[in-house]
Chain A
């Protein structure tokens, strides 16, 4: 500032005896005392935290000068808070906090189990060579191709899934296995593996299931008999004339909708759970409801129409619908074996050894180059139509006679035969059923053809040369341009048909009754007079 000129405001103030504070603190000693008091006040330790203001300010200023943040005056409070926070951490307590195991560590432990190579692996490797094709799907290769399309999970997750598959194969007797996809849920997600079990094992399971069912039926019969005995003592209430439509039997394991067995797990590292086979009733009901998956297989599905089963069954039904609707392969890759005729049960197909992969450009341009290799599901809920009237014969033996009158004519339903081209899939309104594109226009030699389904958003397929694969990532629901309207409950059943005998009518009043009685007496009197007259006549 330099020495002030006489016309400037600060002139003369720096001379001793002229500063504005002079009348308060006259001499240097008192000023020093004041400074010491101020410093002592700043150094006063707080009773609560053991810090003092002086040190705190010093730390703050040091920090600010070190870091030199922008707009310091705006964030000064947060800086102060941070410094205090830092102070507390350095405090050494005699009581140490228990070392909290972060959940990341626990999850890592589970995944670690996946990485451990089992001791008995050498034997498995020999067996695999005998089998021929490796059962383990190459998840990483598939992930690589899908990544070019922009679809897929992170590399880490794919690798975990890969290892989880390896575990699955070593535990279950599996012939072929494929990564079907991932379905998202509210609390947890599902990772799904499509599997074909080796033949001997399936039969054992079927037998077990049948035994369970017959045992259950016997129990029900026993209970039914007891109830009937009780009922005979009391007058029975009127039996309802409602007869539920005959139950459509589910398809046998290994055919139709139950061609593959599905295993799910919530996360790689968790144990695999087998999903039960699907029944047509479940598929029919799943078509009418739209529910989110929670991630727990035993969660109940509360809906109308009431879904027969819990979340595991609903999941299985949706998987069946998605597979039937969106699993495609390049046309010609699969062919019917020449020996068999195309019957209703034309379920088998085999790889065509003479298949020549068409170029990628063709695969993208025309949808006729792709074909479904899973049978579509009929309205009935099965892939192969069955006449429910056949079953009614068994019911008649149980003694219900009303069925003959009420049999409806079931029309035979035919679905599209296996290996239909997807160009014949109908779109909704003006949205085509499939959208095809090449993964890149820039490098046509290495681009792959990618197919997105518009009916089931989240279903993708890719093809590149001889390789192709289908996958699903999504919530598990079908796309509909209109909003979902749940079915209305059926009208309440009428209790009794209206008959004059039970129709309500007002009771006649006393006057009416007396009038009626008088009229009756008159009529009687007239009749007697007539008789008397007749008697007199004779």
Chain B
């Protein structure tokens, strides 16, 4: 939506769109039908498209969709325990989630990416023993590259009553959580560009 009044449904992202969107750099224009000329940016992709019979352009709408998908996949996070996995494999909200404690809220390891887990099997047996399979089935944040400080900034605001995580990879993604309550969520306000300079900036 451009004016918060008229909303249009976006189609889900395809792999092709994601690959193309990585090539396009620069700000969004604000016009969903604007077309980026791929010939300038990536002649190979343009050639491929031409061969398959389509025009070598990318619409801003597709770029928007791909960017949203990328952001969700990369930095969409939830606190530990908010979602549980049943033995049948389906994941749903934990109605008894009462929030993280203050101590836990300050630790990066108590937040998870809300995407398909990838590295659970790589953990050592010791770590696996501590995990509770119904709640710890997602990637934790502390393994985000770069190691050490990671790509997140955790801050307590309002004297510790709200914990705010900001992503450094996608500048503008803010996640909030009020400890000991069920409230959490994340929003993105920004230019829609990945921060590729992250390793230089830490």
Contacting chain B: which of A163-171, A481-489, A500-508? Answer: A481-489
Q: Is the CB of B149 within 8 A of A75?
A: no
A165-193 Cβ-contact flags toward B at 8 Å (1 or 0): 00000000000000000001111110000
Check A429 for interface membership: any CB of B closer than 8 A.
Answer: yes
Interface string of B97-108 (1 = CB under 8 A from A): 000001000000
Contacts of B94 in A (CB 8 A): 78
Interface presence of A108 (CB below 8 A): yes
Other-chain contact of A187, B155, B160, B202 (Cβ < 8 Å): B155
Does A107 lie at the interface of the complex (its beta carbon under 8 Å from any beta carbon of B)?
Answer: yes
What residues of A have a CB within 8 angstroms of the CB of B160 in the complex?
102-104, 107
Binds A, one of B6-14, B119-127, B193-201: B193-201
**Cβ contacts under 8 Å, B158 to chain A:** 104, 107, 156
User: Is the C-beta of A290 less than 8 angstroms from some C-beta in chain B?
Assistant: yes
Contact B26 A481 (CB under 8 A): yes
A448 to nearest B CB, angstroms? Answer: 18
Q: Which residues of A contact B190 (CB under 8 A)?
A: 457
- Are A292's CB and B102's CB within 8 A? no
Q: Residue A291 contacts which of B96, B161, B201 (CB distance < 8 angstroms)? A: B201
Asked if B20 is at the interface (CB within 8 A of a chain A CB), the reply is: no
Contact A103 B159 (CB under 8 A): yes
Q: Which residues of A contact B (CB under 8 A)?
A: 69, 74-75, 78, 82, 102-108, 111, 156, 184-189, 289-292, 429-431, 454, 457, 475, 477, 479, 481-484, 486
Q: Which residues of B contact A187 (CB under 8 A)?
A: 153, 155
Q: How far is the CA of A75 from the CA of B168 in the complex (A)?
A: 37
List B contacts of A107 (CB < 8 A): 158-160
Does B128 make an interface contact (CB < 8 A)?
Answer: no
Complex Cα gap A254–B191 (Å): 36
Is A429 a contact partner of B161 (Cβ separation < 8 A)?
Answer: no
Chain A residues with CB below 8 A from B161, complex form: 104
B54 contacts A by Cβ under 8 Å: no
Cβ-defined contact, A290 with B96, below 8 A: no
Name the contact of A75 in the complex, choosing from B25, B96, B197, B202 (C-beta under 8 A). Answer: B96
Q: Which residues of B contact A291 (CB under 8 A)?
A: 200-202
- Whether, in the assembled complex, B156 has its beta carbon less than 8 Å from a beta carbon of chain A, the answer is yes
In the complex, the answer to whether B153 meets A185 with C-beta atoms within 8 Å is: yes
B81-138: which have CB < 8 Å to A? 86, 94-96, 102
Q: A104-B159, A108-B159, A111-B159 are in contact. List 5 more A-B contacts (CB 8 A).
A: A105-B159, A431-B26, A479-B191, A481-B26, A484-B197
Q: How far is the CA of A82 from the CA of B201 in the complex (A)?
A: 46
Using Cβ atoms and an 8 Å threshold, which residues of chain A touch B27? 431, 454
What does the 1/0 interface line of B51-80 toward A look like (CB < 8 Å)? Answer: 000000000000000000000000000000
Interface of B is mostly: loop
Q: Is the CB of A103 within 8 A of B200?
A: no
Q: Does B171 contact A (CB under 8 A)?
A: yes
B196 x A483 contact (CB < 8 A): yes
- B168 contacts which chain A residues (CB < 8 A)? 186, 292
Chain B residues contacting A103 (CB-CB under 8 Å) are 102, 156, 159-160
Given contacts A74-B86, A104-B160, contact A484 B200 (CB under 8 A): yes
- Please tell me if B166 contacts chain A, counting CB pairs below 8 Å: yes
Residues from chain A with a CB closer than 8 A to the CB of B95 are 69, 75, 78
Per-position binary interface string of chain B over residues 144-169, scored 1 when its CB falls under 8 Å from any chain A CB and 0 otherwise: 00000100010110111100001010
Interface residues of B (CB under 8 A from A): 25-27, 86, 94-96, 102, 149, 153, 155-156, 158-161, 166, 168, 171, 190-191, 196-197, 200-202
- Given known contacts A75-B96, A102-B102, A186 and B149 CB-to-CB distance under 8 angstroms: yes
Specify which chain A residues have a CB less than 8 angstroms from the CB of B202 in the assembled complex: 291-292
Evaluate contact between A486 and B200: CB separation under 8 angstroms: yes
B166 to chain A, nearest CB (A): 7
Task: Tell me whether A184 and B166 are in contact in the complex, defined as CB-CB below 8 angstroms, given that A189-B155, A481-B26 are known contacts.
Answer: yes
Return the contact of A78 from the options B25, B96, B171, B201 (Cβ within 8 A).
Answer: B96
Task: Tell me the nearest residue of chain B to A482, going by C-beta.
Answer: B25
Instruction: Report how far A486 CA is from B171 CA in the complex, Å.
Output: 20
Closest to A474 in B: B171
Question: Within the complex, which residue of B86, B155, B159, B196 is in contact with A106, where a contact is CB–CB below 8 Å?
Answer: B159
Chain A CB within 10 A, most for which of B25, B149, B197: B197
Complex contact A457–B191 (CB within 8 A): yes
Closest to B152 in A: A186
User: Contacts of A457 on B, CB cut-off 8 Å?
Assistant: 190-191
In the bound complex, CA of A482 to CA of B189 (Å): 21
- Across-interface contacts of B166 in A (CB, < 8 A): 184
Closest to A291 in B: B201
Contacts of B201 in A (CB 8 A): 290-292, 477, 484
Enumerate the 7 nearest inter-chain pairs by beta-carbon distance, A residue then B residue, closest first.
Answer: A107-B159, A103-B160, A484-B197, A104-B159, A186-B153, A78-B96, A292-B201
A433 to chain B, nearest CB (A): 12
Bound-complex Cα distance A457 to B192 (A): 12
- Assembly CA distance A74 to B171 (angstroms): 40
Contact residues in B for A108 (Cβ distance below 8 Å) = 159
Among B26, B102, B155, point to the contact of A188 (Cβ < 8 A). Answer: B155
**A186-B149, A475-B171, A481-B25 are known contacts. Are A290 and B155 too (CB-CB below 8 A)?**
no
Shortest CB–CB separation between residue A303 and chain B, in angstroms? 8
- Complex Cα–Cα for A185 and B96 (A): 34
> Nearest Cβ distance between residue A295 and chain B, in whole angstroms?
8
> Residue of A at shortest CB range from B86?
A74
Q: Distance (Å) between the CB of A106 and the closest chain B CB?
A: 7
Which residues of chain B come closer than 8 Å to A78, judged between CB atoms? 94-96
Cβ of B153: which chain A residues have Cβ within 8 Å of it?
Answer: 184-187, 292
- Measured between alpha carbons, how far is A484 from B202 in the docked complex, in Å? 13
Q: Determine the distance from Cα of A429 to Cα of B196 in the docked complex, in whole angstroms.
A: 19
In the complex, residue of chain B having the shortest beta-carbon distance to the beta carbon of A79: B96
Cβ–Cβ < 8 Å partners of A189 in chain B: 155
Q: How far is the CB of B104 from chain A (nearest CB, A)?
A: 14
In angstroms, Cα B96 to Cα A175, docked, is 56
A290 CA to B168 CA, complexed, in Å = 13
Set A102, A290, A429: member contacting B197, Cβ < 8 A: A290
